[in-house]
Amino acid sequence: MVMAFALLMLGIAAFTVAGGDDKPKDEPKAKDSDVLDGPGIVKLLKGMGYDVKELKNDKGVYGGSITYSGKFDFTVSVGLSPNGKWVWMYVWLTQLPSPKIPADKLTSLLSRNDTGGPCFFTYNQKNNYFRAKVPLHNKGISAALIREALVEIDDTISSAVKDWDPTNWEGAKDKGKEKEKEKEKGKEKDKN
């Protein structure tokens, strides 16, 4: 019995020393080699075979932009967040003809944000553009992860084109025909 008690106590001590005390552990700190900086993003994209245009601000290179060809051909910017914790991948989709966006299109994009992911839609009011964005935690980002995010962006924007592209909105084709007629009238006036 004394022997059983001693073995029990030894087991409890070993369990506690091995970390079985259920106290939260600090997440291991990322090594500098696991975290990308702006030039590191450019190097990674070039290593994937892309022609990269450097993205710069007053602090220097913070990322790069590439052209991706999939269901859509688009330019994607891959840039470091100001605090360095995130790498943002984003696509400027289209400049809207007016800041007045049909409510059904906005609610559809917001619904996609709620049910989809990690790619989501945003609206840039300053430039009147819709954007598609994917955030990546800046730790251990690989070429495979970038490729996966590019496919995610392509799938997301292609499945929602009717909501973000104003040429697909109701009445857009009629407005386009009216503009063509106005251009033709202008050409006829120029001939006279």
* pLDDT at residue 191 in the model: 52
Q: Is residue 187 part of a domain?
A: no
Contact of 150 with 67, CB cutoff 8 Å: no
Q: Is residue 174 part of a domain?
A: no
Mean pLDDT of 114-126: 89
Name the pLDDT band for 30 (thresholds 50, 70, 90): very low
Domains: count for the chain: 1
Give the pTM. 0.71
Q: Is residue 191 part of a domain?
A: no
Mean pLDDT of 129-157: 95
Cα dist. 138→34, 63, 95, 147 in Å?
8, 13, 29, 15
φ, ψ dihedrals at 65, nearest 5° = -120, 145
CB atoms within 10 A of CB 118: 14
Q: Is residue 22 part of a domain?
A: no
Return the CA Rg of the chain.
Answer: 26
Residue 103, SS3 per DSSP: helix
Convert 38-67 into a string of H (helix), E (strand) and C (coil): HHHHHHHHHHCCCCCEEEEECCEEEEEEEE
Read off the pLDDT of residues 67-80 as tens digits, 9 standing for 90 and up: 999 998 999 999 99
Q: Is residue 76 part of a domain?
A: yes
CATH number of the domain residue 91 falls in: 3.30.1460.10
Q: Is residue 56 part of a domain?
A: yes
Measured on CA atoms in the order 79, 82, 87, 88, is the torsion positive or negative? Answer: negative
Q: Is residue 11 part of a domain?
A: no
Residue ranges making up the domain that contains 93: 29-165
Mean of pLDDT over the chain: 80
- 4-8, 92-96, 100-104: range with lowest mean pLDDT: 4-8
Top-confidence range, 28-32, 123-127, 188-192: 123-127
* pLDDT at residue 182 in the model: 54
Asked if residue 147 has pLDDT above 90, the reply is yes
Asked if residue 3 has pLDDT above 90, the reply is no
Mean pLDDT of 132-161: 95
E-assigned strand segments in the chain? 53-57, 60-69, 73-80, 86-95, 120-124, 129-137
Name the pLDDT band for 188 (thresholds 50, 70, 90): low
Contact of 166 with 96, CB cutoff 8 Å: yes
CB atoms within 10 A of CB 121: 21
Contact of 119 with 152, CB cutoff 8 Å: yes
* pLDDT at residue 46 in the model: 96
Higher pLDDT pick, 192 / 45: 45
